Structures are given as C-alpha cells and as structure tokens.
Amino acid sequence: MDKEKEKPEARRERMLQKELKHSSSSFQGSNLSRSLGGTSWKFTGTMIILLIVGFVIVSLFIN
C-alpha cells in the first residue's frame, strides 16, 4: 500500500510495531497513548471534560 494513501490508524499501528521492534526508549508499552490513539478526539475531549467536572463536584462536596 502506498504510504501516502494509508489510513491514520494503519500508519499509527505500523509505527507502533516498528517502535516495539526497535525499542530505544526507557518507557515501553505506552498504554495510555495506545488506548487514546484509537479513539476520536471528540471522545478524548469529552472524557477529559467529564473528569474535570467530576473533580469539581467532588471537591465541592468535600468542602
């Protein structure tokens, strides 16, 4: 497949496999980036906003 017409998910997976094969970094696995890499930016943004709102609500009840 031509690399220019490759889907972003396929490119990301190919790059991840290459990195795992020739791992030069001290942090291997990168589970957070792998799990968030497959989701859309809207879902990731929604999750971040929900975490912030949840933190604010919990902090209001604690005080």
From CA 50, how far away is CA 52, in angstroms rounded?
5
Show the domain range for 43. 3-62
From CA 39, how far away is CA 25, in angstroms rounded?
24
What does the angle CA 14 – CA 18 – CA 20 come to, to the nearest 5 degrees? 115
Span 10-46, pLDDT tens digits: 888 888 888 777 765 555 555 666 666 666 778 888 9
The answer to whether the predicted template modeling score (pTM) of the entire model surpasses 0.85 is no
State the virtual CA torsion across 52, 37, 32, 61 in degrees, nearest 10: 10
Overall domain count for the chain: 1
The secondary structure of 34-60 as a DSSP string is HHHHTS-HHHHHHHHHHHHHHHHHHHH
